[in-house]
Amino acid sequence: MASHKDSHFFEGRKSQSDLNENGASHGEWGRAWKADWFSLISVIFLLLFCPFIVYYFIMSCDQYHCSLSEPAIQLLTGKVHLLDIWDKTPPFSWKVLILYFSWVMFQAFLFMIPDFCHKFIPGFQGGVQEGAISPAGFKLKYEINGLQAWLITHALWFANVYYFQWFSPTIIFDNWIPLFWCANIMGYLTSIFVWIKAYLFPSNAKDCKFTGNFFYDFMMGIEFNPRLGKWFDFKLFFNGRPGIVGWTLINLSYAAKQQELYGQVTNSMLLLNVLQGLYVLDFFWNENWYLKTMDIAHDHFGWYLGWGDCVWLPYLYTLQGLYLVYHPVQLTTSYAVGILLLGLVGYYIFRMTNHQKDLFRRTDGNCKIWGKKPKYIECAYTSASGTKHYSKLLISGFWGMARHFNYTGDLMGSLAYCLCCGFNHILPYFYITFMTILLVHRCIRDEHRCSNKYGKDWKRYTDTVPYRLFPGIF
């Protein structure tokens, strides 16, 4: 927060930080030490209005057939009142609350089980892995078992659908708004708990940042890596589970509802499930790599991650599937193939760009990219302790085309999701709009930090690779 928070809000799609970070000073990491007036106003605005934004989107589908303009127009013209909309909104349910918290506890249980997938799946890096160095100089260990949790969860889901039949596969859609109230409760309880924990029993006091401003600290987070015990890491759990494990289940529930309502599942819904399922599987396959991303290596854990991963991610990143339940779209074969190719090419660019950077880092440049020895610019910086460090910035392969070309692939995939829904409503296109703002803002934030860190060396780098996202354009 996308996700992400800072300059990228709610980490939905998890994209890798573009630059090497070895021994950065405390001040260069994470959120700010002080909250200026602009940041404070922005924080208060987001705290007040984000829950209502999410509610507005799902309410518009439930009551206005996914029209974003109609409820606003009717409210402004006096045709309906807020209480009329509220009275038609499905209420909070204790039964659904028990269901939701059982889901979260089940994912927490899976989160604590040692990984066994890496023992029999070739190429998968699971089990105990090391994360990046924290601001205070600590290197935490993580139990990487997200793929295992995803496989177990979905095996049980399909076992229920085809054998046990304990509940309908449409259960998520049928309780979507009551689940929204439960997700908000979880998001706020988590955010309040880690805020209190930072004061009373922080996991590492040296990795905390206090501004003294309640709103800023509550939203942006105080602790860098809040944990319970040795292994339950709040940041990794809420960033990766239960929201992203649930993403594919939510889409499957949408598909089941289409089948129930119309007697078939449209090819657009199938295509959406495939493309977003590919992204989710990629996330868990590369969970070890994710430990080095901005989400884990730079962000503190507060409301923007705690609430964002409980509410913003599962509710707004799945809008395309929700829309297709109300507006089933059967794509022509050529159009469906075009969307599939766009999504797969975007995924290829996203994955290979990050693979090139990861390979370059792991081998310290002793590798080949596109069949050639990689080129790089060596940069120097000085940490707060006065120690001089060196980083190598890759300028070969996709990284020679643009400074954040992994984000370019990400945006291509995001656009493919939206195109599955046709062009009759704007609601499905919220995702590409949000992702564009998020990633452009993230580029600017990351480059501002790196400019301060590397100085003249950063200028040499940007002169060599002049474009951020789109070669020849931006």
Domain ranges for the chain: 37-89, 96-330, 340-473
CB 13 within 8 A of CB 414: yes
**What is residue 379's predicted lDDT score, i.e. its pLDDT?**
87
CB 418 within 8 A of CB 432: yes
335 contacts: CB under 8 Å, gap ≥ 6? none
Question: Closest Cα to residue 276, out of 203, 211, 357, 340?
Answer: 340
Run of H or E residues at 129: strand 127-133
- Confidence tier at 158 by pLDDT (50, 70, 90): very high
First to last CA, the chain: 23
**What is residue 111's predicted lDDT score, i.e. its pLDDT?**
96
| pLDDT over 70 at 334, yes or no | yes
- Confidence tier at 96 by pLDDT (50, 70, 90): very high
| pLDDT over 90 at 163, yes or no | yes
**What is residue 146's predicted lDDT score, i.e. its pLDDT?**
96
| pLDDT over 80 at 290, yes or no | yes
What is the token pair recorded at 452? 């301060």
Query: Tens digit of pLDDT for each residue in 99-109?
Result: 999 999 999 99
Gap between the Cα atoms of 226 and 233, Å rounded: 6
pTM of the predicted protein model: 0.89
Strand, helix or coil at 392? strand
Write the DSSP string, 66-100: T-SHHHHHHHHHTSS-HHHHHHTSPPP-HHHHHHH
Run of H or E residues at 141: strand 139-144
CB 18 within 8 A of CB 403: yes
CA dihedral 70→422→352→471, nearest 10 degrees, is -80
Which residue type is seen at 464? T
Which residue type is seen at 240? G
State the average pLDDT over residues 353-362.
89
State the average pLDDT over residues 412-439.
95
